[in-house]
Amino acid sequence: MKENSIVILDFGSQYNQLIARRVREMGVYAEVVPYFEPLDKILARKPKGIILSGGPASVYIEGAPTIDKELYKQGIPVLGICYGMQLTTHLMGGEVARADKQEFGKAELIIDDANSPLFKGIPNNSKVWMSHNDHVTKMAEGFVQIGHTDSCVAATYNKDLNIYCIQFHAEVTHSEHGTDMLRNFVFNVAKCEKNWSMGNYIEETIKNIKETVGDKKVLLGLSGGVDSSVAATLIHRAIGDQLTCIFVDTGLLRKDEAKKVMEVYGQNFHMNIKCVDAEERFLSKLAGVSEPEAKRKIIGKEFVEVFNEEAGKLTDVEFLAQGTIYPDVIESQSVKGPSMTIKSHHNVGGLPKEMKFKLLEPLRELFKDEVRKVGRELGIPDHMIDRHPFPGPGLGIRILGAVDKEKADILREADDIFIEELRKADLYNKVSQAFVVLLPVKSVGVMGDERTYEYTAVLRSANTIDFMTATWSHLPFDFLERVSNRILNEVKGINRLTYDISSKPPATIEWE
């Protein structure tokens, strides 16, 4: 199946995952590999087409990311996008220089060769998205111009080598016919066949898991989140009772979380799940600690300890399974510079490397939406698949300041009402992440003529595509009113509720 694939060489563009997703949505497998991957390794993947991504560098600077020129001579069609175009031009003897002014935003592409397979079915004039400082000032020999804008050579073609270059970003939706151009490259130029589907993926992965694992045992930390649940279900399909899942109830989970997980995956799917009640352990370690990073570290460390203890009780376990997904993989091999740590990683499930297990990561090649599709095909109920992300430290970072059981119980109730109402109003799937935060602030209220002095809670709901930036959800007032009435009436311990109207940046989605 992988022999029918597109390889994307990553030069650090923020859009390279998008290219892969676009191609996969067409039913063709695509993977992102760093630009410095040796040529023989690239060829070993037997790609039918290669896409060179954009990137922040300038090709004419010493040490700029580059590739082995031989790549162009393998009889495999190449599409260079932005930096990919500039690099191709530079390596093949053309010239690239800094433009007088940078071009960012929409531009009008005028097609010069309407017969080009890349532009099949695309109108002669269309909007494309530009983001560059440099441009091609002289095309390399053998290349002809097949498209332009009023400020640059926008598309070139080398017939002998079957190389296409475009200065604009076809992968973003602002490029009106961008997806059509990528589709043309994938099917008309690279001659790929549609054969990437989740059904195929499941079948093939189950076969692989069986072969890899044999008669050995596998251990998996089940969190109830989408990734670990889908991984568990897939592995369970392959090897049944050879899989043991460990579910740790940290005391910082949502209301009835352990019950729900045991119901769906234990009772219905008959998975072997060990549910560990570790509430007291976690809460006693957290007592009096209010600094967010300190709380995260304590929770992460405790999780690993509990997990290790449980793992130690099992014999013959050879594999540790994890719900690692493709964006995590790309991220860790990325060519981008180190980005600042805003928070230590959300995933409590990140287990230490020194554990003596072989890793089993059946979702390593999938994007999140693909993981969800796999989950649905495996029969996991929608309400478990469409769940918003939930951070590893759980309520530990949604109770601001020091954490205790009383606060956790209050927050659980309030959060449950908010989520229930979102679902009832058909809003849950229209927002990306929603939850309640409990503040260590008490204020005065009045209830039944009596003075109260209770906690303040915050409703937080954000809309985002990539979780890098987000806006607050514009939830209807009557909806907010309903939630407010219910929480203030039903949850003892909260007498004041506010709605968070901060975007990210400068705020973050979670509060700690």
Select from 53-61, 280-288, 388-396, 499-507 the region that touches ligand GLN (CB under 6 A).
53-61
> Using the rule CB under 6 A, which residue among 4, 5, 13, 229 binds ligand GLN?
13
Binding of ligand GLN by 323 (CB under 6 A): no
The alpha carbon torsion through 401, 403, 407, 413 (nearest 10 deg) reads: 100
What are the Cα distances from residue 157, in Å, to 78, 89, 264? 10, 11, 54
Q: Which of residues 424-463 bind ligand GLN (CB under 6 A)?
A: none
> Using the rule CB under 6 A, which residue among 54, 225, 349, 394 binds ligand GLN?
54
Torsion angles phi and psi, residue 277, rounded to 5: -85, 105
Q: Is 224 annotated as a binding residue?
A: yes
The smaller minimum CB distance to ligand GLN, of residues 4 and 175, is found at 175
Q: How far is the CB of 300 from ligand GLN (least distance, A)?
A: 36
Q: Is 226 annotated as a binding residue?
A: yes
Q: How far is the CB of 304 from ligand GLN (least distance, A)?
A: 40
The smaller minimum CB distance to ligand GLN, of residues 158 and 167, is found at 167
Q: How far is the CB of 72 from ligand GLN (least distance, A)?
A: 18
Contact between 383 and 257 under an 8 Å Cβ cutoff? The reply is no
Residue 192 catalytic?
no
The smaller minimum CB distance to ligand GLN, of residues 309 and 466, is found at 466
Give dist(CA 154, CA 122) in Å, integer: 15
Q: Is 261 annotated as a binding residue?
A: no
Contacts of 63 (CB under 8 A, 6+ apart): none
Q: How far is the CB of 77 from ligand GLN (least distance, A)?
A: 20
Torsion angles phi and psi, residue 134, rounded to 5: -100, 160
Closest CA to 89 of 74, 78, 102: 78
The smaller minimum CB distance to ligand GLN, of residues 22 and 373, is found at 22
Beta-bridge mates of residue 218 = 243, 319
The smaller minimum CB distance to ligand GLN, of residues 49 and 54, is found at 54
Q: Which of residues 119-178 bind ligand GLN (CB under 6 A)?
A: 131-134
3-state secondary structure labels for all residues of 289-340: CCCHHHHHHHHHHHHHHHHHHHHHCCCCEEEEECCCCHHHHHHHHCCCCCCC
Q: Could you tell me the end-to-end alpha-carbon distance of the chain, in angstroms, rounded to an integer? A: 44
The alpha carbon torsion through 85, 91, 92, 93 (nearest 10 deg) reads: 110
Instruction: Write down the catalytic residue from 132, 135, 148, 169.
Output: 169
Contact between 167 and 155 under an 8 Å Cβ cutoff? The reply is yes
Residue 169 catalytic?
yes
3-state secondary structure at position 280: helix
Contacts of 80 (CB under 8 A, 6+ apart): 51, 52, 86, 87, 88, 163, 164, 165, 166
> Using the rule CB under 6 A, which residue among 25, 26, 58, 162 binds ligand GLN?
58
Residue 82 catalytic?
yes
The alpha carbon torsion through 246, 249, 250, 251 (nearest 10 deg) reads: 180
Q: How far is the CB of 328 from ligand GLN (least distance, A)?
A: 24
Give dist(CA 402, CA 291) in Å, integer: 8
Q: How far is the CB of 8 from ligand GLN (least distance, A)?
A: 13
Q: Which residue is nearest to ligand GLN (CB)?
A: 54
Instruction: Write down the catalytic residue from 31, 103, 171, 370.
Output: 171
The smaller minimum CB distance to ligand GLN, of residues 131 and 228, is found at 131
Q: Is 251 annotated as a binding residue?
A: no
Give dist(CA 246, CA 221) in Å, integer: 5
The smaller minimum CB distance to ligand GLN, of residues 96 and 222, is found at 96
Beta-bridge mates of residue 10 = 34
Binding of ligand GLN by 65 (CB under 6 A): no
> Using the rule CB under 6 A, which residue among 42, 82, 139, 378 binds ligand GLN?
82
Q: Binding-site residues for ATP, please? A: 223-229
Summarize as ranges the residues that interact with ligand GLN (CB under 6 A). Answer: 13, 54-58, 82-83, 131-134
Active site residues: 82, 169, 171
Q: Binding-site residues, please? A: 223-229
